[in-house]
Amino acid sequence: MCNSGISDHKAKIESVEFLSKDIVSMWLKNNTIDFKPGQFLMIEVPGSALRRPFVIVEKEAKDLRIVFKVRGKGTKTLSGLEPGAELKLLAPLGNSFPELPKGYSPLLLGGGIGVVTLLPLAKLYSKKCSASIILGADTAGSLILLDDFKKCSKINTCTDDGSAGKKCNSVQLAKDHIKNSKEKFAVYACGPEPMLEAAAKMCKELKLPCFVSLEERMGCGVGACVCCVVRTRDGLKRVCKDGPVFNAEEIIWRY
């Protein structure tokens, strides 16, 4: 009996496109995987002993999209594969972003490559209500998927060096946005850990709900090997199985 709904799928690469010097958008031909916003998959990379986790960014017709930063051997190999190459994907994995609490408007807060995790939510809310979207990066070239997000809602951007959008960090921009608005927001965040910790702190001060999607090095992706743990108020939890999305109040941050 399979209660988890997980299975090992196959998919051929449909296209590989570099969005910046080190960020890759890859479409995979597959119509057997269903997913909820926030869920991820583990891809078998040729020549690698461990599969690599990637959040599922969107599904269009019969294609799934992942977007990732080339960081090490696995992502480098993956980015160099040609369309037509067949990959194995364990999916769908992890929990998903919780539904919008009643009376709140969604505020999507993304930093760096973490913005890709929020696109499924942006698409979801574009049908229901208007989400506030705040996207930050170190520099203009790393600010990605802007057109995709713009199709969903109005976006606000910032960079550390001021080369695009406001010159500030994304949490500061979110704070200004919240203060200048009459709405009550629930924050959905994904990005580097110091940014998520700052977002959690801001939400605590403003008494707003905050959900964060975390990242950690994984072995199995299904909760068996307990390599990807995070410290919470209820003890250690597994990012791959109990997360990757957590209520920010639960997390005991390392920074």
Partner 1 sequence: MSAIKVRLFDAELKTPLIPASGVWGYGDEYDFVNNEFLGAFSTKGLSIKPREGNPVPRIAETECGVLNSVGLQNVGIKCFIEEKMPKIKDLGPKIIANFFGNTEEEYMDAARSLGAVKELFALEMNVSCPNIKTGGISFGQDPKMIEKLTSEVKKQSKKPLIVKLTPNVSNIPAIAKAAEEGGADAISLINTVRGMSIDIRTGKPSLATPIGGYSGKGIKPIAVRAVYETAKAVKIPIIGMGGIYTAEDVVEFMMAGASAVQIGSAVFSDPNICETIAKDLRLYCQENKIKDLSSIVGKAL
Nearer CB in complex with partner 1: 95/153: 95
For partner 1, the closer of residues 81 and 222 by Cβ is 222
Residues 12 and 27: their CA atoms lie apart, in Å, by 9
# residues contacting partner 1 (CB under 8 A): 34
Q: Assess 61 for contact with partner 1 (CB under 8 A).
A: no
**Chain CA centroid to CA 64, Å:** 15
Give the whole-angstrom CA distance, residue 251 versus residue 235: 10
* Cβ 200 vs Cβ 212: under 8 Å: yes
Q: Which of residues 138-177 bind partner 1 (CB under 8 A)?
A: none
Which x/- pattern, by CB under 8 A, does the window 65-104 give for partner 1?
--------xx-------------x-x--------------
Q: Interface residues for partner 1 in 213-232 (CB under 8 A)? A: 216-220, 222-230
Distance CA 194, CA 181 (A): 25
Q: What span, in angstroms and rounded, lies between the C-alpha atoms of 119 and 98?
A: 15
- Residue of 21, 49, 103, 205 that binds partner 1 (CB under 8 A): 49
Shortest spacing between CB 4 and partner 1, in angstroms: 5
Least distance (Å) between residue 195 CB and partner 1:
18
CA dist., res. 34 & res. 48, Å (int):
26
Peptide bond into 92 cis (omega under 30): yes
User: Which one of 109-117, 125-133, 182-190, 210-218 is the stretch in contact with partner 1 (CB under 8 A)?
Assistant: 210-218
Of the residues 8, 17, 34, 86, which one makes contact with partner 1 according to CB under 8 A: 8
Positions that interact with partner 1 (CB under 8 A)? 1-8, 44, 48-51, 73-74, 88, 90, 216-220, 222-230, 235-236, 241
